[in-house]
Structure 1
Amino acid sequence: MKLALIADIGGTHVRFALWRDGRPQALRVLATGDYPGPEEAIRAYLAALELPLAALETACLACAGPVHGDRFSLTNNHWRFGRLALTHALGLRQLLVINDFAAMALGMTRLAEHERLTIRPGQAAVGSPRLVLGPGTGLGVSALLPDGPGNWRVLPGEGGHVDLPLGNSREVALWQLLQRDLGHVSAESVLCGSGLLRLYRVSCRLDGQQPRLDSAAAVSAAALAGEAGAMAVLEQFCCWLGRVAGNHALTLGARGGVYLAGGILPHFAAFLRDSGFSRCFVDKGVMSGYLQDIPVWLAVAEQPGLLGAGLALDAWAKRQPA
């Protein structure tokens, strides 16, 4: 029996599954740091399932980074590979490589109501684009464009690397410290796992305090426990996420709604909902009213990126000659 493999490759982890009957099966999560590249990780995944490499026929790899040409470099890990070389090494008939947030966006099209939480109520405009973004190891951004009744076309991009927007004097002061450390200050510089810790440290510097927390998880945990300094940092994180989401929604005209995704936000969903995210999302001067009715949802589904990779593989296969 010929098998289809799907993978969601991030900066820290790669999630593998087999695509059967329209859904991911046999999910395994591996650390990208444990393998020199995707070929070795795929071989290890199949070996763990006691499946021969020859059983694999097609695959879709959703990769965290720009996707164009034959050569691929992951933005936040060391993996580098060529599509043709990997196709031959694995003996595949077809190999599709897409951006990871393109896959995430496709996964949003299959969310059930219980798989999304309302962060900002509104009225989704029928026939309008939708924005998908979310912090993880990096900051992913993609878009869904309407393509006929019930159909969507994905517009991938690298919107996580836009400049970090500034809305008040404290944000300017924080940006100055970040710029001193980093040079270019992108949205992803703050809006990702390592970025939350970076924001905590520059906030401590700005306030003349000694940092005592040493991970993003510790910062969010301290904030949820009511520690004032950590709460202020997480609040700033949410505000900056709102500013970035609002900027992208304006650019895209995303009146169909905004999906927040990724592995970080579900850990503090209630905090995010009650934070300044919504205020900063619409804080666009004369264009604030344009954003006022746009709903924002937080995706809490299991592995939507893998689901999207499978949907992309199905759609691509239909376009191939018999």
Structure 2
Amino acid sequence: MTAAAQIPAPPVPAPAAGRPWLVADIGGTNARFGLVDSPAARPRDVHRLSCADHPDLASAALAYLERAGGARPGAACVAVAGPVGGDRIRLTNARWDCSAEDTRRRLGLDRIEVVNDFAALALALPRLGAGDVRPLGGPAPAAGLPMAVLGPGTGLGVAGLLPLPGGGWAPVSGEGGHVGLSPLADLEIEVLRVLRADQGAVTAECVLSGPGLTRLHGALARVHGAAAVPLSAERICAAADDPLCVLTLEVFCALLGGFAGDCALTLGATGGVFVGGGIAPRIAGVLQSSDFRIRFESKYRMTDYVKDIATVLITAPTPALLGAAARLDQCLETAR
């Protein structure tokens, strides 16, 4: 018996009046939605909804569409914070677990694309303008070369972007945030010992994320023999007059710089390494004055290699929506 033939996906309809594209960025905490009226256009009517307020993706999307005036999109691209494969849409750090096909039907779509959120963020990189970024050291990004993007938020995402021989770009996504943490300074090694005693294995995401900031703050308190009330990432980022919070951010930025350098080496991202996510833009000033770039370049025999790579902070408010729109553009171009 031969295997059943794969049913080709329906074509992506071009966005038109009354039938825009729906783009979404679904994180562990928030879901962001927007509408795209024409190819290469930036999303409009962008709104954020709490994932906890809705049982699944379709319910959140329907609530957004009602808020956006009752638009009836013809196609959608959904960027999700988790592995992508098959029909299931699962989030690593949230409770949503739903079917892409069921979501398509409930929204009345001709086509739905589901991509990893950092693959979408990678696809957004060529569309970022000067007002969407802030330099973090090194030269300017190099056009037409491989790039990497990483970002601490509810979790820690990583992706690459490779130029294609005939033009265009291909994202490379994985679960790079779950690699092991690589401390360098003595204080970082002491923190790692404390965290390992608590939970065994310590990945990069265990520290370089919102929940990770809370863990790092608590571990630093214990290393210094101080009592500390557990604080949220928001409180730590905002507490500029608290010495322990200041130290927490300094250590966080240094570790993030080392991790960014590892990503540059692993992906060969000679076009630039971009930092996004929910936390980095909130601490832009701290990040620029920290040891981030020093640690990025501290790669022993590869120091000269990484010195020639740009590091850039993404300050655009919803860059993954740009990448989701770029993915639908790719589908439209492939069908022509």
TM-score w.r.t. structure 1 length? 0.93
* CA shift in 2, pair 1:84/1:213, >3 Å: closer
Is residue 48 of structure 1 aligned with residue 67 of structure 2? yes
Q: Is the 8 A contact 1:123 1:293 kept in 2?
A: no
Q: Is the 8 A contact 1:128 1:253 kept in 2?
A: no
**Displacement, 1:123?**
4.9
Return the alpha-carbon distance in structure 2 between the equivalents of residues 149 and 119 of structure 1. 31
Return the alpha-carbon distance in structure 2 between the equivalents of residues 129 and 99 of structure 1. 18
1:144 aligns with 161
Return the alpha-carbon distance in structure 2 between the equivalents of residues 75 and 82 of structure 1. 15
Q: Is the 8 A contact 1:66 1:99 kept in 2?
A: yes
2:35 aligns with 18
The one-letter code sitting in structure 1 at the alignment partner of 2:276 is A
The one-letter code sitting in structure 2 at the alignment partner of 1:252 is L
Is residue 6 of structure 1 aligned with residue 29 of structure 2? no
Return the alpha-carbon distance in structure 2 between the equivalents of residues 150 and 295 of structure 1. 22
**Displacement, 1:133?**
0.6
Return the alpha-carbon distance in structure 2 between the equivalents of residues 202 and 69 of structure 1. 39
Is residue 235 of structure 1 aligned with residue 254 of structure 2? no
The one-letter code sitting in structure 2 at the alignment partner of 1:44 is A
1:178 aligns with 195
Is residue 115 of structure 1 aligned with residue 132 of structure 2? yes
Is residue 245 of structure 1 aligned with residue 264 of structure 2? no
Helix, strand or coil at the partner of 1:59 = strand
**290-299 or 81-90, which deviates more:** 81-90
**Displacement, 1:29?**
0.7
Superposed CA deviations along residues 150-196 of structure 1, whole A, max 9, x for unmatched, are 63221111111111112133222211221222332111111111111
Structure 2 unpaired stretches of 5+ = 1-17
1:270-285 correspondence runs (5 A): 270-285=285-300
* CA shift in 2, pair 1:320/1:83, >3 Å: farther
Is residue 162 of structure 1 aligned with residue 179 of structure 2? yes
Return the alpha-carbon distance in structure 2 between the equivalents of residues 156 and 317 of structure 1. 21
Let me know the Cα RMSD of the aligned residues. 1.7
The one-letter code sitting in structure 2 at the alignment partner of 1:296 is T
TM-score w.r.t. structure 2 length? 0.89
Return the alpha-carbon distance in structure 2 between the equivalents of residues 30 and 139 of structure 1. 21
1:290 aligns with 305
**Displacement, 1:263?**
2.0
1:201 aligns with 218
Is residue 32 of structure 1 aligned with residue 47 of structure 2? no
Helix, strand or coil at the partner of 2:151 = strand
Q: Is the 8 A contact 1:177 1:202 kept in 2?
A: yes
Return the alpha-carbon distance in structure 2 between the equivalents of residues 297 and 51 of structure 1. 37
* CA shift in 2, pair 1:177/1:152, >3 Å: same
**Displacement, 1:202?**
0.9
Question: Which of 75, 83, 92 lines up with 2:109 in the alignment?
Answer: 92
Superposed CA deviations along residues 16-65 of structure 1, whole A, max 9, x for unmatched, are 1111131211111100000110011111112223416xx23211110000
Q: Is the 8 A contact 2:132 2:315 kept in 1?
A: yes
Return the alpha-carbon distance in structure 2 between the equivalents of residues 47 and 126 of structure 1. 40
Helix, strand or coil at the partner of 1:120 = coil
The one-letter code sitting in structure 1 at the alignment partner of 2:94 is N
Helix, strand or coil at the partner of 1:56 = coil
The one-letter code sitting in structure 2 at the alignment partner of 1:34 is D
**Displacement, 1:252?**
1.0
The one-letter code sitting in structure 2 at the alignment partner of 1:206 is V
Structure 1 unpaired stretches of 5+ = none
The one-letter code sitting in structure 2 at the alignment partner of 1:246 is G
Superposed CA deviations along residues 246-305 of structure 1, whole A, max 9, x for unmatched, are 111111111111111122112221211111111111111112121111110111113111
Q: Is the 8 A contact 2:138 2:307 kept in 1?
A: no
**Displacement, 1:148?**
4.3
* CA shift in 2, pair 1:27/1:114, >3 Å: closer
Question: Which of 289, 295, 299 lines up with 2:314 in the alignment?
Answer: 299
Count matched residues: 317
